[in-house]
Amino acid sequence: MPKTLGSEDLARILPHAYPFVLIDRVTDYEEGKSLTAIKNITANEWAFEDGQASDMYPETLLIEAAAQAALVLYKVTAKDNGLAVVGKIKSEFERSLTIGDQVLFKSRVVKIISSMGISKVELSQNDQSFANVQVYFSILK
């Protein structure tokens, strides 16, 4: 049976408040191994409120959402109250997303120890991968 997390669970896990929680829900996770999260890009996103002409969702927000998926995976794995701080991110995007798209974030643990972690996050839409993000983070106790 899949382990899931809703928006209330994410609000407890992440140190962010609305509107800066950028993943909508976790559809499945396996502690210490992987996590799958979903983000629906809608027209009422705060990123589109400034009247910009483009309906392209900013890649920087997708990178942040990938980092949040990696940190949630750490939190459900380590079950500690330390603050996870992102230190470095490497990303490669093949294309952009627009209003109406749904993004799947598949985060995998590369390495987790008590003071740091590394995760790889694959972003996909309609079963087609379009970006990879590697997240390096430290844990402050």
Task: Per residue of the chain (141 residues), give pLDDT as tens.
Answer: 779 999 899 988 888 777 789 999 999 999 999 999 999 998 888 777 765 657 788 899 999 999 999 999 988 888 766 777 888 899 999 998 988 999 999 999 999 887 888 999 999 999 999 999 999 998 887
Look up residue 105 and give its two tokens: 């974030």
Please report, for the chain, the start and end positions of each structural domain, with discontinuous segments joined by +.
Answer: 7-140
Please give the pLDDT value at position 23.
96
CA 5 – CA 74 distance, rounded (Å): 14
User: What SS3 string covers the chain?
Assistant: CCCCECHHHHHHHCCCCCCCCCCCEEEEEECCCEEEEEEECCCCCHHHCCCCCCCEECHHHHHHHHHHHHHHHHHHHHCCCCEEEEEEEEEEECCCEECCCEEEEEEEEEEEECCEEEEEEEEEECCEEEEEEEEEEEEEC
**Residue 101 exposure: Cα atoms within 13 Å on the Cβ side:** 20
pLDDT score recorded for residue 35 = 97
Q: What is the pTM of this model?
A: 0.90
Give the sign of the dihedral formed by CA 50, CA 54, CA 56, CA 59. Answer: negative
Confidence at residue 77, expressed as pLDDT on a 0 to 100 scale? 86
CATH homologous superfamily of domain 7-140? Hotdog Thioesterase (3.10.129.10)
